[in-house]
């Protein structure tokens, strides 16, 4: 963790976070992580939300449910503790809610207490809920959206019903953000036409909301899967009113709608990678299972703008590269096509635009005075 981040964490002991301005708040939750944020300020959160309850509708499109699993695997606090502290009422989540849709002769029956379809209809009418979308939305075939039908209703139509009255829309995971794996280049992609909520790959003009004629801002939390902290802290900031929608979004989100505190435009996973020293010395693994830099095994960490190296995963103890897996840059709006082939070196460009083998030679030669990449930067005047 950088000195600046460490100092920020120390300062928070004597600060009332509810009085922080938006910018300071976002830096604080980004530095603390979900555990410290929700645990340290439990009483303040309860006081702030004393008379309120936030409704959350979580819809699943075409996906593997990996982001929900990632969230459920979050610990200390787990999702139940976090949502209790934030006073969130999960109106609907297809994976963890017991309710179901009930039809009789094609018509919905019973009440909202027993029938989730009626409950959703009532919720959409009432409005003032946070809509979370996990998974992509097929537009095909031929604009019908019938490549994903739930309860005889295309998911495209479900989104059309859910989005207009939502107080905030959050797309969770690469599939919901820009189509993800379901939208990878293939022989059938043009027929299935999977899209993210606000983007299709990097194209904002082809997001599903645009297709539906709905003009609402979207907060994108990409990843395959998304980190539990990214989800919980973003929802926490929205619920507590620390992100005003839409007024604050231009300041807190990057050009692709990602919270800059978690996906910093000027920082990459590579910078805090535990194998970074091997790169600087020009020492690279060429087979899986070694301890050196994974660049030649297809690592995309130098292009992945996320805080994984600082935040880490699995209880904040590890991350992909630390565990021996090259970063696949799953937070990129072009993922997975922009990262393929995943585990082979497909480019000969280094971080500073220098041939990777040249960087290695410079790194070894300059080891006595500086790490290789930094030496290259100085020689290039950067």
Tally Cβ neighbours within 10 Å of residue 374. 15
Mean pLDDT of the chain: 81
- Dig out the tokens for 75 from the structure: 């610990």
pLDDT tens for residues 291-335? 999 999 999 999 999 999 999 998 888 999 999 999 999 999 999
pLDDT for residue 150:
86
Least confident interval from 176-185, 217-226, 295-304, 340-349: 340-349
What does 267-315 look like in DSSP terms, one character per residue? --GGGG-TTHHHHHTT-B-SSTT-SSB-GGGT--GGG--S-HHHH-BTT
380: confidence class by pLDDT, cuts 50, 70, 90: very low
**pLDDT (average), residues 272-276:** 95
Which CATH fold would you assign to the domain 269-380? Cytochrome-c3 Hydrogenase; Chain A, domain 2 (4.10.480)
pLDDT for residue 73:
83
Which of 4-8, 102-106, 151-155, 193-197 tops mean pLDDT? 193-197
CA-CA distance, 100 to 103, in Å (whole number)? 10
Least confident interval from 19-28, 241-250, 345-354: 345-354
pLDDT for residue 377:
37
Positions of CATH 3.40.50.700 in the chain: 3-252
CA-CA distance, 364 to 239, in Å (whole number)? 51
pTM of the model: 0.81
Helix (H) or strand (E) holding 42: helix 42-48
pLDDT for residue 15:
45
pLDDT tens for residues 154-195? 999 999 999 999 999 999 999 999 999 999 999 999 999 999
Contact 134, 65 (CB under 8 A): yes
5 — phi, psi (to 5°)? -65, -40
Give CA torsion, residues 294, 297, 301, 304, to 10 deg. Answer: -170
pLDDT for residue 375:
34
**pLDDT (average), residues 366-377:** 36
Positions of CATH 4.10.480.10 in the chain: 269-380
CATH superfamily membership of 3-252 = NADH:ubiquinone oxidoreductase-like, 20kDa subunit (3.40.50.700)
Q: What angle do CA 70, 176, 116 make, to 5 degrees?
A: 80
């Amino acid at each position: 963790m950088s000195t600046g981040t460490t100092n920020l964490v120390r300062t928070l002991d004597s600060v009332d976070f509810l009085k922080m301005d938006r910018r300071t708040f976002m830096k604080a939750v980004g530095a603390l992580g979900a555990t410290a944020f929700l645990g340290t300020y439990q009483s303040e959160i309860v006081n702030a939300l004393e008379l309120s309850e936030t409704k959350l509708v979580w819809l699943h499109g075409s996906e593997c449910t990996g982001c929900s699993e990632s969230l459920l695997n979050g610990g200390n606090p787990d999702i139940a503790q976090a949502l209790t502290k934030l006073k969130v009422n999960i109106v609907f989540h297809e994976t963890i809610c017991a309710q179901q849709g009930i039809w009789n002769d094609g018509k919905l029956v019973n009440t909202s207490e027993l029938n989730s379809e009626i409950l959703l209809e009532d919720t959409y009418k009432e409005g003032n809920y946070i809509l979370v979308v996990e998974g992509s939305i097929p537009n095909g075939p031929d604009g019908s959206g019938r490549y994903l039908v739930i309860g005889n209703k295309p998911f495209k139509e479900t989104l059309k019903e859910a989005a207009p009255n939502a107080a905030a829309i959050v797309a969770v995971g690469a599939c919901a953000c820009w189509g993800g794996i379901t939208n990878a280049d293939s022989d059938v992609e043009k027929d299935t036409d999977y899209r993210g909520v606000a983007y299709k790959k990097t194209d904002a003009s082809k997001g599903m909301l645009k297709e539906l004629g709905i003009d609402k801002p979207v907060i994108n939390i990409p990843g395959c899967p998304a980190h539990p902290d990214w989800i919980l802290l973003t929802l926490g900031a929205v619920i507590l009113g620390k992100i005003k929608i839409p007024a604050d979004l231009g300041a807190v989100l990057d050009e692709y709608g990602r919270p800059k505190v978690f996906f910093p435009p000027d920082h990459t996973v590579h910078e805090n990678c535990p194998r970074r020293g091997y790169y600087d010395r020009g020492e690279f693994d060429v087979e899986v299972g070694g301890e050196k830099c994974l660049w030649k095994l297809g690592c995309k960490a130098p292009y992945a703008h996320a805080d994984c190296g600082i935040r880490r995963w699995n209880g904040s103890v590890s991350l992909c590269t630390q565990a021996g897996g090259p970063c696949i840059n799953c937070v990129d709006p072009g993922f997975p096509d922009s990262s393929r082939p995943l585990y082979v070196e497909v480019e000969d460009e280094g971080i500073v635009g220098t041939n990777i083998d040249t960087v290695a030679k410079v790194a070894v030669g300059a080891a006595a005075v500086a790490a290789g990449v930094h030496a290259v930067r100085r020689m290039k005047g950067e």
